[in-house]
């Protein structure tokens, strides 16, 4: 179920880059800054225009609207039209990134992912010292909406592939399909494909002032009816064009198609972006017939439920000494304020936004064995809890874009159980999982300590994250 993706590591950006544009629906100008992030950080948006600069994780659980794009909300902060940006991240292999916005909507740019891809290429992609984990789909996952006649299927595959089929009962578009055989093809084959709409939809949106940032340069307009010259003149005036006419193939003269099946390819782009909200890279062949944002999101929820059910987060983590560490002792020593003889974590082998796994090798040379049960060395339980606390500190601070400016202080320890003795020669596997999202600097975690496949200690810990300049 869980494996590394062709031995690849996680990736982020080499530097920061800013794009500027208008929101399609709000019409407001917005700056979007893409910033590098730590391994395990994932993809997150930050509303820097709001007082507390809230961060919103790109997660299907936070989707609140799919009517005209995909909108996320967390603790009252919203970010809308996120799908093209998310698709660009998946297509360019970006695992960890902070996307800062000074407005409520991602800029529409040219209606595709092309300019976002170009921005990523302008600063470059940085490989990180952490393995990328991919989840394979071992059985078919199916979603069907009988009202909209949407059919989506994920079948086992050795790669991430997508096939989309669109059929709007339109004589202009007809039936179109598009296929992405490998994610490496995304940049050139899918990324430049722009959003589209039908003229009757455009007229409705204009009449109801629902696309304040609409421009004929960021959408393909399909004309599926006879249009009077008066209407074309009105559209020309609205969009500040000298002349608007209908091409022979039923497309307004606003754009030249990049591909004959560009609408189907854009629907595939939307599928890539919306399925990024699963939160994990997957291996599967996605077959989507007549997909839309609402169905994409519901399908993403089903895939996420499948992964959650099968990845067994509460099971014993596996430790392979040959596995490359996400953080080695040098990085840990810089991240935590603890120093000899009180640094009790040797390396971090797993790290995500909601869990961490650390390793502590217990040797006879530990300073505490000199006075704790002399002749029968047993690691003090309180130090096992301290090792958990330090590992949890790594998890808590990883949720901040500038962890070096914060410290963690544990304010509560509960439900502590010591199951087995820990002796010299044991290797502690320290696992912590968030019990709730971090709010107002309070981090609640469940910690477990294993030696091999035996549970030796468990506890619930609550930490407070404090900015160093506010102590």
Cis peptide before 341 (omega within 30 of 0): yes
Q: How far apart are the C-alpha atoms of 302 and 141, rounded to whole Å?
A: 7
CB 267 within 8 A of CB 164: yes
- In DSSP notation, 72-87 reads EEETTEEEB--HHHHH
Buried b (16+ CB within 10 A) or exposed e, 50-81: eeeebbbbbbbebbeebebbbbbebeebbbbb
State the Cα–Cα distance between residues 232 and 225, nearest whole angstrom: 12
The pair of three-digit structure tokens given for residue 455, joined into one six-digit string: 């549970």
DSSP string, 169-181: S-TTT-EEEEEES
Catalytic residue among 11, 293, 338, 355, which? 293
Residues contacting residue 355 through CB under 8 Å, at least 6 positions apart: 313, 395, 431, 432, 433, 434
Handedness of CA 427, 3, 9, 398 (dihedral sign): negative
Q: Distance (Å, rounded) from C-alpha 340 to C-alpha 370?
A: 16
372 catalytic residue (yes or no): yes
The secondary element (H helix, E strand) that includes residue 151 is: strand 150-155
What is the rounded CA–CA span in Å between residue 158 and residue 36?
29
Alpha-helix runs per DSSP H in 67-136 = 83-91, 114-123
Rounded-to-integer distance, Cα 186 and Cα 93, Å: 10
Active site residue 293: yes
Q: Compute the distance between CA of residue 263 and CA of residue 259 in angstroms, rounded to an integer.
A: 9
Residues 255 and 220: beta-carbon distance below 8 Å: yes
Query: Length of the chain in residues, anyone?
Result: 471
Q: Helix or strand or coil: residue 390? A: helix
Q: Please report how many Cα atoms fall inside a 13 Å half-sphere around the Cα of residue 392, on the Cβ side.
A: 32
Tokens of 321: 């000494």
**Which residues are known catalytic residues?**
293, 372
């Amino acid at each position: 179920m869980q494996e590394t993706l062709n031995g690849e590591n996680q990736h982020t950006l080499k530097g920061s880059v800013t794009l500027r544009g208008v929101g399609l629906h709000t019409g407001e100008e917005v700056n979007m800054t893409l910033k590098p992030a730590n391994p395990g950080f994932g993809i997150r948006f930050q509303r820097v225009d709001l007082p507390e600069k809230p961060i919103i994780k790109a997660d299907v659980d936070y989707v609140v609207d799919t009517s005209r794009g995909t909108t996320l909300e967390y603790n009252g902060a919203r970010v809308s039209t996120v799908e093209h940006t998310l698709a660009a991240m998946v297509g360019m292999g970006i695992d960890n990134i902070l996307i800062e916005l000074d407005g409520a909507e991602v800029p529409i740019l040219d209606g595709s992912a092309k300019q976002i891809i170009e921005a990523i290429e302008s600063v470059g992609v940085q490989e990180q010292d952490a393995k990328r984990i991919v989840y394979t789909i071992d059985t078919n996952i199916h979603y069907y909406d009988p009202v909209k006649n949407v059919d989506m299927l994920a079948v086992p595959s050795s790669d991430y592939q997508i096939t989309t089929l669109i059929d709007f009962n339109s004589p202009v578009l007809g039936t179109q399909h598009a296929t992405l055989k490998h994610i490496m093809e995304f940049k050139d084959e899918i990324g430049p494909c722009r959003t589209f709409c039908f003229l009757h939809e455009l007229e409705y949106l204009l009449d109801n002032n629902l696309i304040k940032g609409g421009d004929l340069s960021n959408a393909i307009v399909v004309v599926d009816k006879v249009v009077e010259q008066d209407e074309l003149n009105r559209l020309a005036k609205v969009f500040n064009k000298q002349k608007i006419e209908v091409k022979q193939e039923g497309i307004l003269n606003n754009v030249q198609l990049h591909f004959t099946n560009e609408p189907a390819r854009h629907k595939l782009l939307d599928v890539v972006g919306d399925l990024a909200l699963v939160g994990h890279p997957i291996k599967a062949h996605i077959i989507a017939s007549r997909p839309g944002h609402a169905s994409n999101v519901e399908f993403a929820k089903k895939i996420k439920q499948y992964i959650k059910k099968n990845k067994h987060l509460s099971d014993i983590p596996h430790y392979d000494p040959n596995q490359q560490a996400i953080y080695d002792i040098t990085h840990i020593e810089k991240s935590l304020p603890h120093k000899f003889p009180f640094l009790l974590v040797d390396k971090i082998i797993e790290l995500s936004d909601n869990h961490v796994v650390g390793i502590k090798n217990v040797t006879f040379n530990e300073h505490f064995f000199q006075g704790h049960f002399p002749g029968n060395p047993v690691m003090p339980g309180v130090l096992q809890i301290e090792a958990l606390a330090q590992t949890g500190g790594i998890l808590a601070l990883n949720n901040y874009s500038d962890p070096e400016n914060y410290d963690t202080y544990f304010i509560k320890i509960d439900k502590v159980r010591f199951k087995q003795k820990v002796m010299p020669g044991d290797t502690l596997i320290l696992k912590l999982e968030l019990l709730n999202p971090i709010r107002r600097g309070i981090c609640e975690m469940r910690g477990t300590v294993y030696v091999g496949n035996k549970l030796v200690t468990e506890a619930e810990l609550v930490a407070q994250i404090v900015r160093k300049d506010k102590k």
